[in-house]
Amino acid sequence: MKVVQVVPRLDGGGVERGAIEVAAALVAAGHEAILISQGGRLVADLERVGARHVHMSVGDKSPKVLGSLRTLKRWLDWERPDVLHPRSRLPAWLCWQIWKKAPVDRRPRFVTSVHGLHSVNRYSAVISRGERIEAVSHTAREYLENHYVVEPPDKVRVIRRGIDPNAYFSGYRPHQAWLDTWDRQWGLSQPAPTLVLPGRLTRLKGHEELFPLVRSLVGKGYDFRVAVVGGVDRNRQRYARRIQSAVRRDPILTKHIVFLGHRSDLREIMSMADIVLSLSTRPESFGRTVLEALSLGTPVVGYRHGGVGEILRDVCPEGGVDLDKPADVVAKVESFLENPPFIANHEYTLQNMCQQTIAMYQELLS
């Protein structure tokens, strides 16, 4: 079985990492895995697992991307994959335009994914075109079925994202050299509780919700630090500058909040955190970092909605806070600093995710 996945870029993020994980599982099972993108820092990771990367302009939302249609069509005609699986909207539009015009006996099977709760419009509707549709959570499936025509209804498969329990497990601790560097960069004379807010600097991740939380905890006499871990989205640079400037100008915020930018050691950071935060006021389709943190044994405090709400309900229900009660976030953080909550075992594993994904591909080919 030859499977081609398509993503805009391989710079980072849950979608991209999931695509690489599926590619690795395909290769391990004896299949051929190819990923098309505009490249990025994760290409080496993809090639390391034995998959092939093809560089193609499939990520720029401009008229120039239409020039990629011919290139992509020629490539697909030459490679003749069994399954074509674009994992975001723009690649899905490109693939759909080619796929629907191809002779039926020469088409690959076509799979789309619901990785995000996007604006509802004709552009986003392409996610409903797949012969199979992968929804990364029950929240994602409800979004799809509430806003688009899904025919036949049984073509949707809920395949929740998963973690590698060999990499994310309670009791994991970084190497001592990393710990020494971690402590030095804060310049602290003694340890202090650490809160972590992971995610790129976009409105979706709720960075502004962090500010009243910090002020409230300071007012209650807590000594702590907050690590904001995530790079600047290339389309959200103005927002990132505004958030960073607001922290620099405020003597309370600047003392307790540090922006660490994109990091490749988020696992290590979250393993050393006392609490990981999920403060998006908009529901997310899943919430991979929430799952990773809980798998490391680190409590999470987050709003009880969307995919994050699903994970918290299953793994750490005490961490959920109603969206209309933001003051409860402060109380929950205080409570967890004093008495960490119970974190349950779960079945959100990488093995389950990959097995279900490959089974979906094979089902289409049977």
Sorted by where each begins, the domain ranges of the chain are 2-162+349-365, 176-338
What pLDDT, on a 0 to 100 scale, did the predictor assign at position 192? 84
- Which overall architecture, per CATH, does domain 2-162+349-365 show? 3-Layer(aba) Sandwich (3.40)
Low-confidence ranges of the chain (pLDDT < 50): 189
Give pLDDT, residue 284: 92
For the beta carbon of residue 61, count every other beta carbon within 10 angstroms: 11
Do 2-162+349-365 and 176-338 fold alike per CATH?
Answer: yes
- Per-residue tokens: 258: 């540090």
Q: How far apart are the first and last CA of the chain?
A: 11
Residue 41: CB atoms within 10 Å: 13
Model pLDDT, residue 100? 95
Omega before residue 152 within 30° of 0, cis: yes
- H helix or E strand, kind and range, residue 35: strand 32-37
**pLDDT on residue 190:** 59
How far apart, in Å, are the Cα atoms of 156 and each of 84, 119, 127, 190, 286? 16, 20, 11, 52, 16
Q: In this structure, what token pair is assigned to residue 220?
A: 């209650």
Task: Specify the CATH number for 176-338; select among 3.40.228.10, 3.40.50.2000, 3.90.76.10, 3.40.190.10.
Answer: 3.40.50.2000
Whole-number Cα distances in Å, 138 to 40, 158, 160, 292: 30, 7, 8, 19
Q: Whole-structure pTM over 0.75, yes or no? A: yes
Phi, psi at residue 5, to the nearest 5°? -105, 150
DSSP H helical ranges for 114-273 = 138-147, 176-186, 207-219, 237-249, 251-256, 266-272
Q: Per the structure block, which two tokens stand in for 129?
A: 């075109």
Q: Which residues contact 89 (CB under 8 A, 6 or more apart)?
A: 118, 123, 124, 126, 127
